[in-house]
Chain A
Amino acid sequence: MTTPPSGLGSAQGAGSAQGAGDRRPRVFIVDDHALFRAGVRAELGDHVEVVGEADDVGPAIARITACLPDVVLLDVHLPGGGGHSVVTSVKATHPQVRFLALSASDAPEDVIAAIRAGARGYVTKTISSAELVDAVRRVAGGDAVFSPMLAGFVLDAFAAKPAGGGEERPSFDPELDQLTTREREVLRLIARGYTYKEIAGELYISVKTVESHVSSVLRKLQLSTRHQLTRWATERRLT
């Protein structure tokens, strides 16, 4: 009946900076609101090194390919097109740059477009500073970051029985089109607002295992041909 003893409170210092080594991750911010960019800069503080900013698709692509940051914090809504086009263009030439989608919108199609274009995670703008720093470190280290909303969306999209009667096409790759029981459990707990560390305590597994489950879900999300996913992607002219 007890929650894991350590750290219900905050997520900082969750020790997930593997891969980024000891140095601070180099971060690039893309958002069309100057005020918001300044806010994020202040929130990230000394924990990361902000190497640049951009306010639209064109400048973002040019500057990111010039300074090659570890992580790009990307607003999925931009005046000159969706944020996913930034991901697509940069990934084509510089696959090592990692993207973390950051958005005020909870519209699944924006989120899924960014993720399927190659973003390593998605968080909402309501996220606390500590959690944002942690998310940046995680993405820099190659892991995936799921917000509760994204977890809920994935559970919905990968539901056992999709809506709409028989319009679901037979799946070509069952391994990619289904979630394992464990992955479902992890996603449910994320949706309930648990941190990775709390999930690990709840399921009696290590934080590393939680991370690998989430990464595997991210892979399925990016590669699955499941109808719900492809439909959104098609609507956004991604495929």
Chain B
Amino acid sequence: MLLEEGGPGRRRPRRLLSRLWSRGRGNGGPLRRRREDRLLGGVAAGLAARTGVDVTVIRLIFVLAALLSVGAAAYVLAWLFIPMADEDGTIAGRAMTDRRGITLAAAVGSLLILVLVVASIVGASWISNLSWPLVLSAAGLVLIWRNAPADERETMRRLTEPLGAAGTRLGMAGPRKKSATIARAALTGVLLIGGLALLLSGHDGAELLRPVGGLILVVAAIMVLLGPWWLRIARDLVVERQARARAEERADMASRVHDSVLQTLALIQRNANQPQEVIKLARVQERELRSWLFDGRAPGSVRGAAVTVASGVRLIQQEVEAAYGVAVEAITVGDCELDDNLDAVLAATREATVNAAKWSGAQVVSLFAEVEPAEVSLFVRDRGCGFDPAAVPGDRKGLAESVRARVTRRGGSATVRSVPGEGTEVSLHMPRRAAERQPSRA
């Protein structure tokens, strides 16, 4: 379908696409999208790596092709069907199982087809030239949006943020504010008048009423037919997003409760024969819980008490040394200010350190933090009893939820290396946000 589409820019995309389809057989290795130096999906970067052509040249070709003809659609298809360099499986493969996503793509597609039908009736040929690639790209983007991994979604979100903000200003806030409603009505009026004027200029005399009337009837018919469906899909989407937000909130809450209440309960069990100690623990926990429930100060977070990675690490060292009586050898290289992501990785570090102090039996826990321009890495190491990571029961949430999930939810990574009898090392990595990558080594 794509290649049948005419237009001056079509030869280049065909070559790109034929390359795409011959991947695996070619001698330059399989074509993969590249996570490094990508702007959108990394397709151009991947092509550049494969062909040796400069990435800027390929990007320009794509932009030209998109302006003239099928470039955008080709890009979206490549995005869907070429796997990312370090992943197996394509977004399209994941999208196959996403039924709601397919429905949504179909809805967006049909909405666009409606626009195109109207356009073709009006006779705006420049729109229908872009028609099929446009429908394809829009539907494809919907599928990518719903099925891409978190970091790619983050890229898309960042790129569309200004659009979304504008939309919110015009749409969502509208019903509440009278001025916005008036503005929207005025805008609609202007558009309507402009459209009618356009139609009027194309036809003469009494003839003019017929196409306009026909057009209105066609639009109305389609609205009656498909309108409720579109509405339902839009509503479902909102509900689903709320559900996802709730689930994330619950997971976050579970890991916080684990860090505070469950840890304290475990400590109380171990100190059951020392009433003074138990009272102290209970009191500290009570204070912490109250400040969380009523003042909104989350347990586990080092923020508030610390503003940089190094001071956060020091805080963890002091807390764990005081609470568990093991030495924490903390070393920090470089430093930077904390943001939400780094706060999360420090909370995970704290948890890993507490785990090591509590269960490993080692007298010393090594804690190493390194702040580099592109990422922050933390290592928690003990020479204690170690464990078999595969044999941890599901209700023991420490490592899985408090450490790994907490970091991966925010785009970082966590690995646990443990050998029974020899010790454990937890490695945590979190990429730094681009805006904050000024060197701030001390």
Binding site for B on A (CB under 8 A): 1-3, 8-9, 124, 126, 128, 148-149, 151-152, 155-156, 159, 161-163, 188, 191-194
Contacts and interface: CB of A to CB of B under 8 A. Distances in A.
Given A148-B329, A156-B333, A191-B333, A8 B422 contact: yes
B422 A148 contact: no
Nearest to A163: B441
Q: A interface, by DSSP: helix, strand, loop or mixed?
A: loop
Given A148-B331, A163-B442, 9 more contacts: A1-B417, A8-B419, A9-B383, A9-B422, A126-B364, A148-B366, A152-B333, A192-B368, A193-B383
B56 to A, nearest CB: 27
Which residue among B327, B366, B368, B370 has the maximum number of chain A CB atoms within 10 Å of its CB?
B368
B373 interface: yes
Q: B interface, by DSSP: helix, strand, loop or mixed?
A: strand
Contacts of A8: 383, 419, 422-423
B379 interface: yes
Given A3-B417, A151-B331, A188-B370, A161 B439 contact: yes
Contacts of B417: 1-3
A188 B370 CA distance: 9
B422 A3 contact: yes
Contacts of A188: 368, 370
16 contacts: A3-B417, A9-B422, A149-B331, A151-B331, A152-B332, A156-B442, A159-B333, A161-B439, A163-B439, A163-B441, A188-B368, A191-B370, A192-B379, A193-B329, A193-B366, A193-B383
B239 to A, nearest CB: 42
Contacts of B419: 2-3, 8
Contacts of A191: 331, 333, 368, 370
Given A191-B333, A192-B379, A163 B440 contact: yes
B381 A193 contact: yes
A163 B425 CA distance: 30
B431 interface: no
A126 B441 contact: no
Given A8-B422, A152-B331, A162 B441 contact: yes
Contacts of A155: 333, 370
A161 B335 CA distance: 12
Contacts of A128: 364
B411 interface: no
B334 interface: yes
A15 to B, nearest CB: 19
Contacts of B334: 156, 159
A176 B379 CA distance: 29
A155 B383 CA distance: 24
A127 to B, nearest CB: 9
Contacts of A159: 333-334, 441
A217 to B, nearest CB: 14
A8 B383 CA distance: 7
A96 B327 CA distance: 35
A193 to B, nearest CB: 3
Contacts of B425: 3, 192
A184 to B, nearest CB: 10
Given A3-B417, A155-B333, A193-B329, A148 B423 contact: no
